[in-house]
A and B are shown apart, each in its own frame.
Chain A
Amino acid sequence: MFESFGNLVAFQMMRLSPESHLGAAVQFFVMDATKIFALLVVVIYAMGLLRAMLSPERVRDFVRDRPDWQARGLAVTLGAVTPFCSCSSVPLFIGFVEAGIPLGVTFSFLIASPMINEVAAVVLVGVLGWELAALYVAAGLAVAWLGGIAMQAFRPERWVEDYVWKIRMGQAARLESDNTLRARHRYAVAEVREIIGRIWKWVLLGIGVGALFHGFVPASWVADHLGGGAWYTVPGAVLLGVPLYANATGIIPVAEAMLAKGVAVGTTLALMMSVAALSLPEMLILRKVIRWQALALFAAVLAVAFTLVGWGFNLIV
């Protein structure tokens, strides 16, 4: 349906040739933009209606006072299902520290949260198929689990800013929510507007980059340089992704275009994770609570983890 709409706009209304670079790029852009935004609206609305999104306050209550492995399992799972805005990562970090949750567990949450969320997962299934979606989610969960443990091994407590330890949180007020269907509908519509209002730029940018790649990069060039999965392509993809930032949904169309041109699966996954999870703005925000040594370590641990994931998949697939 979305493909034929893309064909209609690019080849009939704009009269571009399907063989031309521009024609291929425009067709890809229209197809993906309509498809991804339609998926986003449906998924976010459905989750809003079910009130499936957890607030950070609830997550904190779930994770606190548990043995390490349980806390980590919950942190990774809840991180994966809560799309939280990077602007709340500071209160979240402080809240976790104040609740006595180990820093390694907090880092597991901070890794899982931007990388995996149910919105991105549904878009992944819709655009790239469920096999790749499952690979991405499984690899992301593993990285979050092990990344937190690796961070813990370096005793990051010494790098937490002093004032963080002194903050005492008040008792969170239990806000009762209106559970009528009308209130749920209103809440769901507000969620759709809020989340799409926040991410649409990243998504459009991702679709634009994907469309340019699809239309203008020849498959033969990809086969010569990226197709074989030469060892250096994976760390290259990770390094490329560090300064680049898009949210997890925005990078999906780029991955789609790369895979279609024959870029190796491991290389593509490494780039996706690096772009989604490692971002300069988030690092700068976290700098308010931890010193730069911890941030550098965080970036290094993730870069190594993504490289290993990429190499692993290039070997297997």
Chain B
Amino acid sequence: MKNIKVLGSGCRNCEITANAIAQAAKEAGAVIELEKVTDIAEIMSFGVMSTPGVVVNGEVVHSGGIPGPDLVRSWVRD
């Protein structure tokens, strides 16, 4: 099962990103574990300064801004 983390301290774009990922997973029928990381120390430990950032299975795949729909689909696919 894929673990996807959305990094961001509660900004609006972080919400939108998390919702987009959940929606894409539902559409693809993929089961994922979605976490929201709001602790600033933990966010920075991934080397991300511009939020929202996205981490898939421990690897930073995106940072700074709302990701495009194609990108989001590629993360939830196996």
Q: List chain A positions with a Cβ less than 8 A from chain B.
A: 55-57, 60, 84, 87-88, 90-92, 94-95, 98, 163, 166-173, 175, 186, 190, 194, 288
Q: Interface SS of chain A: helix, strand, loop or mixed?
A: helix
CA distance A169 to B9 in the complex (A): 16
Chain A residue contacts of B9, Cβ below 8 A? 87, 90
Residues of A within 8 A of B11 (CB): 87
In-complex Cβ contact of B51 among A88, A169, A170 (8 A):
A88
Would you call B34 an interface residue if the criterion is a C-beta within 8 Å of the partner chain's C-beta atoms?
no
CB nearest neighbor in B for A173:
B60
Question: Nearest chain-A residue to B8 (Cβ)?
Answer: A87
Nearest A residue to B62 by beta-carbon distance?
A: A175
A90-B9, A175-B60 known; A194+B44 contact, CB < 8 A:
no
Chain A nearest CB from B5 CB (Å) reads 13
Cβ contact within 8 Å between B41 and A163 = yes
The reply to whether A91 and B60 form a contact with Cβ atoms under 8 Å apart is no
B47 lies within 8 A of A194 (CB): no
Residues of B within 8 A of A92 (CB): 49-50
Determine the chain B residues whose CB is within 8 A of the CB of A170 once the complex forms. Answer: 44-47
Q: Are A172 and B50 in contact (CB under 8 A)?
A: no
Q: Can you give 27 contacting A-B residue pairs, CB < 8 Å? A: A55-B63, A56-B49, A57-B47, A57-B48, A57-B49, A57-B50, A87-B11, A88-B50, A91-B40, A91-B44, A91-B48, A92-B49, A92-B50, A166-B41, A167-B41, A167-B45, A169-B44, A169-B47, A170-B44, A172-B47, A172-B48, A172-B49, A173-B46, A190-B65, A190-B66, A194-B65, A194-B66
